[in-house]
Structure 1
Amino acid sequence: MVKNYLYNLIYQVLNLLIPFLITPYIARVLGPSNLGIYAYTFSIVQFSVIIILLGVPLYGNRQIATVSDSKDKISKVFWSIYSIQFFVGCIILIFYLIYVTSITGEIRLISMFQGIFLIASLLDISWLLLGLQKMKPVLYRNIIIKILSVVLIFMMVRHTDDLLLYTIIMAGSTLMGQVILWLGVKRHINFTLNSLEINKHLKPVMILFLPSAFGQIYLSLDKVILNYYATSFEVGLYDQAMKIIKLITVVITSLGVVVLPNIAKAFSVGEVSKIKKIVDVVLRYILFISLPLILGIIAISEKFVYWYLGDEYEQVSTLLIIISPIILFIGLGSLFGIQILAATGQNLKLTLSILFGALVSISLNFIFVPSYGMYATSIVTLITEILVASLQLYYVRYYISFLSVFKGLWRYCFGSLCMFLILIFLNELSNVSLAFTVVQIVVGTISYIVIVFLLKDELLRSFIKLIKSKFRKG
């Protein structure tokens, strides 16, 4: 499981790291308003993608994991589920094209090429490989595509009016990555479409679609509402803050797609004690990682934003401070919702929790965004994630050993606070620069790990032992 987690972590980080690395360049070349247009049009595409995928990524991952010992069974399950995804994708693509023809101006052209993302999602079979826990080939193939996209952006996107070109490169590289996934899939499945059981899988897929759709409502409509009441400039600032946070949270959430098949298998054979053991480790890992990340962002955000995005994006540092706690609650939501509720078939509870979050998000955004703009959007995002994670915690409380969690929590809090004070002190020693931010990150990471290690944290010590054993075997 550790090896697959590392592969998936690298894969997920790569998917976000490339945009993260090119952002300083793009932010200065295109500017906040153009990036706001991109974020607004992409948010609409994201919602369409969720409809195309329905609940397939979660359901398909889980179903493939339960039949991964037989190629014939894998093939039958895969084609039955993928047929639903492909059919719905074609329908949504037609509706999206109708939508594009109904709008005017620059947004129409950008939206048209954003539609390439829909074709990519129609071809998305990453859930098959995740269910089989085959991450290595996916990682290698996508590295090539991502590097190519970076080269194209630096070569071709040179001016403020190159937003369309940027959109084509980003969407095109995503499509190419999905096409590449199909090249090696023949070794895992047979290309025969006999005896498909589409009806068998349709209802479970639709049930899992609901939480995905509701979740995307409060992940995408916040930008739509902000764009309606404010400006594309504010959308651009808010979007940049969220992109930074999403890159950081992938270190936590990437564990989910690896843990889900293991919990699903344990649940299918009634091994509740094994589920509790997995959940205990994952929960402690989330706390171990998220607390220092939150305080670290708060400590370095001002200087980091200034050199990373430029002075036009100065307000992003404030947004980062407001939003940063969602790192913890997104991590908890991933564990409680995806890794426990979805893996154990409690789809109704998962749906209700995310529907609750969507209703809260929409209501609060409509109330406060007209007066407070992007700051209201940021606060509402944080409140929504807290409430969703809290409700899901109530649903999964049976699988959690609260005594074990709280027993080690003080170590992470103390270590994070010490690291925070060190970073605040370092802020006074140097001016804004990439090199200084790197120094802060290195010093902060080392200080936190050393402090938690000296406090005799079991999770950290077991992880160090695991690394030592790998090196000895190597």
Structure 2
Amino acid sequence: MSIKKNYFYNNILLITQYIVPLIVFPYVSRVLGIEKIGILNWIDNTINYFIIISTLGLTLTGVREVSKVKNDKVELSKVFSELIILHTVITLMIVIIYMIVLLNNDKFIENKNIFFIGITKIVFNIFLIEWFFKGLEDFKYITNRSIAIKLIYVILILIFVKNENDYTVYYIITCLTYVVNSVVNIVYAKKYILFQLNNINIKRHFRSYTTIGLYIVLTSMYTTFNVTFLGFVSTEASVGSYTTALKLYSIILGLFSALNSVLIPKLSYLITEREDSLFKDLINKSMNFIITMSFPIIFCGIALAPQIINIIAGPGFERSIVCFKVILPLIFIVGIAQILSNQILIPINKDKQLAYISFIGAFIGVTLNILLVRVYKEIGTALVVVVSEICVTVMLYYLCYQYTKIKLPFVQIIYNIILSIPYFLIAYLVKSAFIDALYVLIISIVLSLIYFLLIQVYIIKNKIIISQITSISSKTFA
């Protein structure tokens, strides 16, 4: 399937990833309140950390290894069987560690019922196998399955979560969707493979599985672990404030992650076939996309943060506004970092170098967490993430330049930053004319979109934007 078709399906998936949180989160935040949201997010984040450790590098190495053998059913079955057995063994070890930690920590014991429910997420993560379908580039299936299950999820939340005492019910439904996704995936996978226990070699995957896994686990020390740390040294309200801002940022970042998901298998294949010029061309297009889209979103998001938080989260989440403003620049920083790591270094097998960088990033993150979070709470956590990601991105860029001579287009970046400053003026003028948060948000977005299109077409002369507008116009008026 072509990149355009895959990206089309990912965009549909992305739309549902926008719509579902925009339906569920405003409802749940108002029903459960900031403290219950904080407790649930802290627990779920802690459980997700165990999932990260159990999965290690499978989410990336799985895509890479499957994409190499996707046209050979025998070898594909063998690779799938080896990876899922390896994942199962490590997950069982992690479940044992999880239980020991759970039963020997007072704060965990306080919420042991929800932590026990969360074990289902860790176990069924074995069968989620998103890496398998991404390696096959079967994004049509991923999209259709995800939309159907998300629709059921929304309906269940609206029916069964009625007051703040239903926070356990909310988490059960959340875990249930994880289980259903996993069961559907493993059944559908039989279309492509035959699971086998004979003639397999787990050892050949162990090095990349653990090396890239080390990179992911260490990276999570300043992205995922920081929420767990915040929960230990601060209040549920602080966790709720930070995770609310983080959730909104994550929804936006999904736009760029969708492109990553599509390109990783394609780039791995191009490296295997030694198509260097096409490889670099796709990287340059990715960078252009990030630069074009991220700065308008960052500037508009900072200018309209109070309105966004008020509309999405509701009253009681005012402390999320500053956090949201602090972490919004990560849209550009992490977008570039994903290109450098996922689209360049992983396809060219620089796993060990990624591990070194992540170790330094983890050290910076943990140190800053200890120094800042006890004093500055949720804002300190936001600052830790931003500083850590900047340091890691700088190191990734240096490494990529050493191996590929690929450069960031700094002139284009500065140009886009300067041309994004008027988004502040647009938001200020709209705020001066209107009081209602929804009116301010809608009118500001419409005017900002008009300004964005004008500068992209007539000032920057962005070929991608112009071609898209031309294509839409020709179809509309044909």
What band does the TM-score fall into relative to the shorter chain?
A: over 0.9
Contact (CA 8 Å) 2:118, 2:175: kept in 1 or not?
Answer: yes
Q: What TM-score do the two structures reach when normalised by structure 1?
A: 0.94
* Structure 1 counterpart of 2:33: 31
Query: Post-superposition shift, 1:407?
Result: 4.9
Query: Post-superposition shift, 1:102?
Result: 3.2
Query: Post-superposition shift, 1:377?
Result: 1.1
Contact (CA 8 Å) 2:222, 2:384: kept in 1 or not?
Answer: no
Contact (CA 8 Å) 1:306, 1:432: kept in 2 or not?
Answer: no
Matching of residue 458 in structure 1 with residue 463 in structure 2 = yes
Q: Distance in 2 between matches of 1:70 and 1:468?
A: 42
Q: Distance in 2 between matches of 1:420 and 1:356?
A: 36
Query: Post-superposition shift, 1:450?
Result: 2.1
Matching of residue 420 in structure 1 with residue 424 in structure 2 = yes
Superposition pairs for residues 275-294 of structure 1, below 5 Å?
275-294=279-298
Alignment RMSD (CA, Å): 2.1
C-alpha distance 16-463 of structure 1, shift in aligned 2 (>3 A): closer
Q: What TM-score do the two structures reach when normalised by structure 2?
A: 0.93
Stretches of structure 2 that go unaligned for 5 or more consecutive residues are none
Matching of residue 366 in structure 1 with residue 370 in structure 2 = yes
Query: Post-superposition shift, 1:158?
Result: 1.2
Superposition pairs for residues 9-20 of structure 1, below 5 Å?
9-12=11-14, 14-15=16-17, 17-20=19-22
Which of these residues, 156, 161, 184, is aligned with residue 157 of structure 1? 161
Query: Post-superposition shift, 1:71?
Result: 1.5
C-alpha distance 99-410 of structure 1, shift in aligned 2 (>3 A): closer
Q: Distance in 2 between matches of 1:296 and 1:349?
A: 36
Which of these residues, 208, 223, 230, is aligned with residue 226 of structure 1? 230
Which of these residues, 396, 402, 425, is aligned with residue 400 of structure 2? 396
| Larger displacement relative to structure 2 (312-321 or 301-310) | 301-310
* Structure 1 counterpart of 2:276: 272
1:420-464 CA-partner distances (Å, limit 9, x unpaired): 322221122212343542332233223212221112122322444
Matching of residue 324 in structure 1 with residue 305 in structure 2 = no
* Structure 2 counterpart of 1:179: 183
SS in structure 1 opposite 2:190?
helix
| Larger displacement relative to structure 2 (183-192 or 172-181) | 183-192
Q: Distance in 2 between matches of 1:87 and 1:94?
A: 11
Q: Distance in 2 between matches of 1:417 and 1:400?
A: 31
Query: Post-superposition shift, 1:411?
Result: 4.9
Q: Distance in 2 between matches of 1:32 and 1:365?
A: 22
SS in structure 1 opposite 2:240?
helix
Contact (CA 8 Å) 1:411, 1:457: kept in 2 or not?
Answer: no
Amino acid paired to 1:348? K
Contact (CA 8 Å) 1:9, 1:250: kept in 2 or not?
Answer: no
Superposition pairs for residues 115-126 of structure 1, below 5 Å?
115-126=119-130
Query: Post-superposition shift, 1:465?
Result: 4.9
Runs in 1 of length 4+ with deviation above 6 angstroms? none
Amino acid paired to 2:78? K
Q: Distance in 2 between matches of 1:17 and 1:381?
A: 26
Q: Distance in 2 between matches of 1:349 and 1:462?
A: 38
1:362-412 CA-partner distances (Å, limit 9, x unpaired): 101101112211111111111111111111011112535548x24543553
* Structure 1 counterpart of 2:388: 384
Which of these residues, 52, 55, 75, is aligned with residue 53 of structure 1? 55
Query: Post-superposition shift, 1:245?
Result: 0.4
SS in structure 2 opposite 1:102?
coil
Contact (CA 8 Å) 1:415, 1:452: kept in 2 or not?
Answer: no
* Structure 2 counterpart of 1:336: 340
Contact (CA 8 Å) 1:17, 1:247: kept in 2 or not?
Answer: no
Q: Distance in 2 between matches of 1:187 and 1:467?
A: 36
Q: Distance in 2 between matches of 1:169 and 1:284?
A: 39
Q: Distance in 1 between matches of 2:290 and 2:38?
A: 31
Q: Distance in 2 between matches of 1:367 and 1:463?
A: 47
| Larger displacement relative to structure 2 (364-373 or 12-21) | 12-21
Query: Post-superposition shift, 1:290?
Result: 0.7
Q: Distance in 2 between matches of 1:280 and 1:400?
A: 12
| Larger displacement relative to structure 2 (425-434 or 10-19) | 10-19
| Larger displacement relative to structure 2 (263-272 or 292-301) | 263-272
Q: Distance in 1 between matches of 2:447 and 2:76?
A: 47
Q: Distance in 1 between matches of 2:285 and 2:471?
A: 14
Query: Post-superposition shift, 1:243?
Result: 0.5
Amino acid paired to 2:320? V
1:135-165 CA-partner distances (Å, limit 9, x unpaired): 1122112212111111111111111121111
Query: Post-superposition shift, 1:16?
Result: 5.9
| Larger displacement relative to structure 2 (88-97 or 360-369) | 88-97
SS in structure 1 opposite 2:223?
helix
C-alpha distance 294-147 of structure 1, shift in aligned 2 (>3 A): same
Matching of residue 135 in structure 1 with residue 136 in structure 2 = no
Contact (CA 8 Å) 2:400, 2:406: kept in 1 or not?
Answer: no
Q: Distance in 1 between matches of 2:138 and 2:247?
A: 27
| Same amino acid, percent of matched pairs | 25
Q: Distance in 2 between matches of 1:320 and 1:400?
A: 34
C-alpha distance 165-258 of structure 1, shift in aligned 2 (>3 A): same
C-alpha distance 401-446 of structure 1, shift in aligned 2 (>3 A): farther
Query: Post-superposition shift, 1:73?
Result: 1.7
C-alpha distance 417-224 of structure 1, shift in aligned 2 (>3 A): same
| Larger displacement relative to structure 2 (28-37 or 5-14) | 5-14
* Structure 2 counterpart of 1:144: 148
Stretches of structure 1 that go unaligned for 5 or more consecutive residues are none
Amino acid paired to 1:211? Y
Q: Distance in 1 between matches of 2:451 and 2:18?
A: 26
* Structure 2 counterpart of 1:200: 204
Matching of residue 246 in structure 1 with residue 241 in structure 2 = no
1:62-92 CA-partner distances (Å, limit 9, x unpaired): 1111112121221111111111112212222
Q: Distance in 2 between matches of 1:116 and 1:444?
A: 44
Q: Distance in 2 between matches of 1:450 and 1:193?
A: 59
Q: Distance in 2 between matches of 1:366 and 1:200?
A: 38
C-alpha distance 260-46 of structure 1, shift in aligned 2 (>3 A): same
Which of these residues, 246, 255, 264, is aligned with residue 259 of structure 2? 255
Q: Distance in 1 between matches of 2:283 and 2:436?
A: 41
* Structure 2 counterpart of 1:437: 441
Q: Distance in 2 between matches of 1:270 and 1:195?
A: 30
Q: How many residues align?
A: 471
